[in-house]
Structure 1
Amino acid sequence: MNADPTSVAGKNFPLRGQFDHVVIGAGKAGVAAARATVASGARTLLVDEHPLDPGLFGLDVPYLFGARFDAGIRNAARMEERVVAARSDLVAAMEEGVEVALGTAAWGGFVKGPASRVFAAPVIGLADREAAWLVGCERITLAIGARDVVIPCAGWTLPGVVGAQGFDALLRLYGAFSGRRIVVIGGGALAEGAVAAARAAGLDPVLHLASPVPLRIEGFDEVTGIGWRDREIWREIACDTVVMAVDTVPMVDLPELLGCPVAWDPARGGFAAAAQGPVAVVGDAAGTAPAERGAWLDLALAEDHALVCACEDVSAGDLRALRPPRYLGAAGPEAGLGALGVLNQDQVKRLTRAGMGPCQGRRCRESVHALLSQDRPAPLASHRAPVRPLPLSVLAALEEDPALRANWTGWFGIAAQWLPHWEPVPDNAEFIGGRLSGEDVVK
């Protein structure tokens, strides 16, 4: 039997470097892990996506920035200085021999397993603003942190609604926060830290709503105020920024790609990953404080009109009815979610498109999960590379084996992919070097 030329089996994957240990995330946990491994004599690479490409701020990657950043984020050199200054132990790590790559995102990871037998050793996909590449390693430590939970109250999609993580990054890491009058939503240490940080920066935290209450964020083009129900009375206050500091959840996208088991554990903040083989998970990525978002989400999702997935315009009512996208003009099954039996978030995503937008579910995943988990926790939606949005020009710069590149246009050798659906495929059509050929093929 002839080998399939479109298969990745037997192909080479050019690497830009080989390391003993790759650490992803340069927060406290990541820097500590990198310093510990380099002290043992291991060649160590420490990667962090900050400072971000300015285009990612608008996509709320990796945090909900809510358009509350100034023009300073466009000065790459200045932002790198800010990131290093905000992480004093990063300089010590570099002096000790850790190779540091800032402004570099990990978009994927590949280890040998049931679904991938191509790589003999772990490989990490990295990218900066110019190109994507692969590095090889023996061990990986994921210190990728946590992301914010968003409460889908009225007006939550307005510019000016930021997450606690995004607020902290803009304020402390970038020095580029542009808001003035702050309202903080949420109780516990996360919200108290946001209030304290705002005051320390000379900002005006005009209100802190610590207990779950019905909310509506006011504004047209951006946040101008917030309303909340106090018993039977709606009260309002003017503000330009609403900080959602209700809860955070561990980042699990990269751990899942690397084969780490991901399980529901409320004591660790919801879905959290555990170490597996050559992959360790540390810091907030391994677990956060026990989840406090339940009552807030229950209040917001009680109304059918609550907008859960802003990218795809899917409401809580749409999800309950399992309603297909409105542009299809179709109704969901009569029994709604009950027709699915054991609920699976991937099923619901494909049927309703909730979580399939540009944010890749970062802003709606917890709301969808809460709505599906009335009786018991539903499985988490799966992740696929790239876990960071990358321009095609960056991915196109990824170096490939010439034998692989020559056949990438052939999708499993299906000749019909390049023909209009109304034209028959000639019997003698075949792929040569990734191009459709044959005597009867119209050139």
Structure 2
Amino acid sequence: MPSSASDLYDVAIVGAGSAGLSGAVTAAELGLSVALLDTSAQVGGQFYRHPEPALGAVRPEALHHDWSAFRSLHRRLESVESSGVTRLAGHHVWAVTRDDADNADAWTVHAVTGADGDGERPVRVRARALLLATGAYERQLPFPGWTLPGVVGAGGAQAMLKSGLVLPGRRVVVAGSGPLLLAVASSLAHAGARVPAVVEASGYLGYARHMRTLAANPHKLAEAAVHGAALLRHGVRVRTRSAVTAVHGRDRVEAVTVSRLDRDWRPVAGTGRRVECDALAVGFGLAPQIELATALGCATRPAKDGTSALALDALQRTSVPGVWAAGETGGVGGAQLAIAEGELAAISIAARLSGRPAATAGGHVRSLRRRRDRMRAFADVMAAAHRPGPGWTRWLDDDTDVCRCEEVTAGRIREAVTDLGARDARTVKLLTRAGMGWCQGRMCGAAVACLAATGGDVPPSAERRPLAVPVTLAALASLAEPNTTPEPTGSDSTDGG
């Protein structure tokens, strides 16, 4: 294992969620030295987020599905951490560059330590191969009142519960689109929240047109049945083809308006109904987090849900030699798919570094690819079923903030399109500053692109940015300084403490 900053790891893995963990333990078991970088202090990513040990949770698995899969990965990590994996927690990766100083096939991962740049220290990690397992972030679509305190992301509500053991409110409406809503609602209800309704903008009939794909993924049907039973047990009503089109309240959420939608997600006049609540958990699916990859020039593809994902080959390779990706970066598909892709990527990397074709791994690779393809097919069905319709922009009035960071309203964006001739999100950004704030368009990017598009649909977007996360000038200045040795972190406690 590398002992100094000038040494090379065999592979650097960015992201310690399902895909990154699977890739790390598989690569280490195949004899590779691994640097595993993640922003969090604990492994597991968003899906397997769990309470800090100081909270004293004795049953973290109660808030998770497939906890046994994570436990297995973590035990494997513990067995190889002393010999094959250097875990670098609390590392915010802001760029990756090709290392052409003395080895054209090496990569340098640039990171800073510290929470949100507070007391940050620059770190560089060099490796012969790169595996990007950076996951995804929530996609949000704005509506009147969405900036009120008490409106949180659906995934954010689940993160609050999993990591902090707190609820966003006592009476929580869950709304948006996608299967995450069912998981969030059942978790909140199980934890003691009153959930008046799950408001799903799409429907579930789209799945029925793909019975063969459903039959090939029985574990997904089982998950849906578990969530459905939990909601039925807690008396939670699921309202399909509906959306929260307004939030009401003075200092925080007091109620929401739920309206019926037509097939294009346009609100049906006269169908608005007021639902009392003190919190709203809302999300419209997930968007792959691919900034590091696109900065390297990796090719992307339009995903079925209107987002952009990385274009990957059968062995998880990107279009850039030496760079692999796994998990949500290739399209949102869940933890089990991510685990399979992480393992497949690690096998491919090991074969490449040893000069052997991956096919020499024989039947296991073929079986792994079949399992990956089966789950990826389901992910495509799921993405298409919950793709936002173009009519959602009818929810917005001109005073609705679209870009929260820069306080740019829907009216200003429409003015840029109709009066100033903007036809794409980049031009709208230049004219209004929408997407130029702290989040760099992660919250508003999809909405701005949709409002700028003449057809109203959400066009895929994959901007190339030199910096994946905000960094200080001091971190940039460190590029001219000698390399900094990363400090590995010890094993974390994940069994509840």
SS at match of 1:223: coil
Paired residues of 1:51 and 1:80 also in contact (CA < 8 A): no
Paired residues of 1:51 and 1:79 also in contact (CA < 8 A): no
Cα deviation for residue 195 of structure 1 reads 1.2
The answer to whether the aligner puts 1:108 opposite 2:106 as a matched pair is no
Paired residues of 2:15 and 2:36 also in contact (CA < 8 A): yes
1:380 to 444, 455, 461: 461
2:327 to 256, 278, 283: 283
Letter matched to residue 103 of structure 1? G
Aligned to 1:195: 185
Aligned to 1:364: 444
Cα deviation for residue 43 of structure 1 reads 0.5
| CA–CA separation in structure 2 for the residues paired with 1:347 and 1:117 | 41
Cα deviation for residue 42 of structure 1 reads 0.9
1:184 to 174, 177, 183: 174
1:117 to 1:16, Cα distance in 2 relative to 1, 3 A: closer
1:29 to 5, 19, 28: 19
Aligned to 1:10: none
1:268 to 1:143, Cα distance in 2 relative to 1, 3 A: farther
1:148 to 127, 138, 146: 138
Aligned to 2:278: 240
SS at match of 1:277: coil
Aligned to 2:432: 352
**Which one scores higher on RCO, CA 8 angstroms, separation ≥ 6?**
2
1:99 to 63, 70, 86: 86
Aligned to 2:405: 311
| CA–CA separation in structure 2 for the residues paired with 1:119 and 1:347 | 37
Aligned to 2:294: 256
Cα deviation for residue 183 of structure 1 reads 0.8
Give the TM-score taking structure 1 as reference length. Answer: 0.69
Letter matched to residue 239 of structure 1? C
Cα deviation for residue 268 of structure 1 reads 5.9
Structure 1 residue runs without a partner (length 5+): 1-13, 53-61, 64-71, 324-334, 403-443
1:42 to 1:100, Cα distance in 2 relative to 1, 3 A: same
Instruction: Calculate percent identity across the aligned residue pairs.
Output: 27
Aligned to 1:271: 308
1:238 to 1:378, Cα distance in 2 relative to 1, 3 A: closer
CA-to-partner distance for each residue in 1:6-43, whole Å, 9 max, x for gaps?
A: xxxxxxxx947631111111111111111111111111
| CA–CA separation in structure 1 for the residues paired with 2:458 and 2:177 | 24
1:117 to 1:215, Cα distance in 2 relative to 1, 3 A: farther
SS at match of 1:245: strand
CA-to-partner distance for each residue in 1:84-111, whole Å, 9 max, x for gaps?
A: 9885323431322322122222121123
| CA–CA separation in structure 2 for the residues paired with 1:311 and 1:118 | 42
The answer to whether the aligner puts 1:320 opposite 2:414 as a matched pair is yes
2:252 to 222, 227, 242: 222
Letter matched to residue 29 of structure 1? A
The residue correspondences of 1:385-404 to structure 2 (distance < 5 A) are: 385-390=466-471, 395=475, 398=478, 400-401=480-481
1:158 to 1:256, Cα distance in 2 relative to 1, 3 A: same
| CA–CA separation in structure 2 for the residues paired with 1:318 and 1:119 | 48
Figure out how many residues of one structure are paired with residues of the other and give that number. 353
Cα deviation for residue 199 of structure 1 reads 2.0
The residue correspondences of 1:62-141 to structure 2 (distance < 5 A) are: 78=54, 87-88=70-71, 89-97=73-81, 98-111=85-98, 121-129=106-114, 130-141=120-131
Higher helix content, 1 or 2: 2
The answer to whether the aligner puts 1:19 opposite 2:9 as a matched pair is yes
| CA–CA separation in structure 1 for the residues paired with 2:54 and 2:296 | 34
The answer to whether the aligner puts 1:167 opposite 2:163 as a matched pair is no
1:31 to 1:320, Cα distance in 2 relative to 1, 3 A: same
SS at match of 1:205: coil
1:296 to 1:205, Cα distance in 2 relative to 1, 3 A: farther
Paired residues of 1:151 and 1:300 also in contact (CA < 8 A): no
CA-to-partner distance for each residue in 1:149-168, whole Å, 9 max, x for gaps?
A: 11210111122222232223
| CA–CA separation in structure 1 for the residues paired with 2:24 and 2:409 | 43
**Comparing 208-217 and 380-389, the one that deviates more:** 380-389
Paired residues of 2:306 and 2:458 also in contact (CA < 8 A): no
Q: Which has the larger radius of gyration?
A: 1
Structure 2 residue runs without a partner (length 5+): 62-66, 115-119, 201-240, 261-268, 312-317, 333-381, 483-497
SS at match of 1:260: coil
Letter matched to residue 382 of structure 1? E
1:112 to 1:297, Cα distance in 2 relative to 1, 3 A: farther
| CA–CA separation in structure 1 for the residues paired with 2:429 and 2:279 | 30
| CA–CA separation in structure 2 for the residues paired with 1:366 and 1:170 | 24
| CA–CA separation in structure 1 for the residues paired with 2:305 and 2:152 | 23
SS at match of 1:267: coil
Paired residues of 2:143 and 2:396 also in contact (CA < 8 A): no
CA-to-partner distance for each residue in 1:324-369, whole Å, 9 max, x for gaps?
A: xxxxxxxxxxx536x35xx443232122211001111111011011
Paired residues of 2:306 and 2:460 also in contact (CA < 8 A): no
Letter matched to residue 401 of structure 2? L
CA-to-partner distance for each residue in 1:58-103, whole Å, 9 max, x for gaps?
A: xxxx99xxxxxxxx99xx7738999x98853234313223221222
SS at match of 1:158: coil
Paired residues of 1:110 and 1:119 also in contact (CA < 8 A): no
Paired residues of 1:184 and 1:195 also in contact (CA < 8 A): yes
1:119 to 1:389, Cα distance in 2 relative to 1, 3 A: farther
1:300 to 1:194, Cα distance in 2 relative to 1, 3 A: farther
Cα deviation for residue 188 of structure 1 reads 3.9
Paired residues of 2:167 and 2:193 also in contact (CA < 8 A): no
**Superposed CA RMSD:** 3.6
1:42 to 1:174, Cα distance in 2 relative to 1, 3 A: farther
Letter matched to residue 46 of structure 1? L
| CA–CA separation in structure 1 for the residues paired with 2:103 and 2:416 | 39
